[in-house]
Amino acid sequence: MLSRWFDKKRESAPNASAAGLIGPKYPRHSGAWAFLRKRLQADPGLRIIDSGFTSPSNINYLTDLGHSIFLTDLDLDACTGEWQKGTDADGNPIWDVEAYLNRSLDFAGRMFDVAMLWTALDYIPEPLVAPVVAHLHAAMNKGGQVLAFFHTKKEGDDIVRLRYHVTEGDNVEVQLTQQFPVQRVFTNRSIERLFTGWSGHKQFLAKDSVSEVIITR
């Protein structure tokens, strides 16, 4: 379990909430990555979005296959940026959604074929989630695919925010990064509702507390 891998590192790293990547990488089998990797190997010249702290291994792997990559840290930007611009009459926060999208997903008119979101949607505040998905829908080519992971519970020893590094095989390598609380748990039905208007999705079983989905534009 991931909690066993990272317990020792957590104890020895009181600064574990600092930005960036913390400690060693560990392999984790990923059916969704194995599925997506076949397309990446077969179709050169794709435009790819990768969400998370900069991963040299992701950049090297994808560019070596002939793809271009757009880097963004969606959940870090959402959780650390000042996107609340006051409250409404009922005291509910008002979010500057446009400013957040311009900061994190300014594509300058470019269209994409693949988006690797990993667990970003679990950590983004609720008012930003649907706009992110809608923004991606508008910026992806027909047949484009989103790889997304979702925690199946909000709390527990193995519920940690990780950076995912791709490999040439069916594993991804996971590494601790800055921690934020999981905002919500997506069910299969809520994932379908969130991606209404997309052509379909394929789910992959996982042994840990994370489900994996490929959603097709």
DSSP label at 196?
Answer: B
Between CA 118 and CA 51 the distance in angstroms is: 7
Residue 111 has pLDDT above 90, yes or no: yes
In this predicted model, what pLDDT tens digit does every residue of 25-75 receive, in sequence order? 999 999 999 999 999 999 999 999 999 999 999 999 999 999 999 999 999
Percent of the chain with pLDDT over 70: 91
Q: What per-residue confidence (pLDDT) applies to 8? A: 35
Q: What is the mean pLDDT of the chain?
A: 89
Distance set, CA 37 to CA 3, 92, 93, 112, 125 (Å):
27, 42, 40, 16, 30
Average pLDDT over residues 2-10: 40
Between CA 201 and CA 84 the distance in angstroms is: 32
User: Residue 101's closest CA among 131, 75, 141, 122?
Assistant: 131
pTM for the model stands at 0.89
Please give the helix or strand (H or E) that residue 41 lies within, else none: helix 31-42
Residue 183 has pLDDT above 50, yes or no: yes
Average pLDDT over residues 134-148: 97
In this predicted model, what pLDDT tens digit does every residue of 87-98 receive, in sequence order? 888 878 889 999
- The residue extents of the domains of the chain are 2-216
Q: What per-residue confidence (pLDDT) applies to 19? A: 63
Q: What per-residue confidence (pLDDT) applies to 9? A: 39
Q: What per-residue confidence (pLDDT) applies to 18? A: 47
Reply yes or no on domain 2-216 having CATH 3.40.120.10.
no
Average pLDDT over residues 132-156: 95
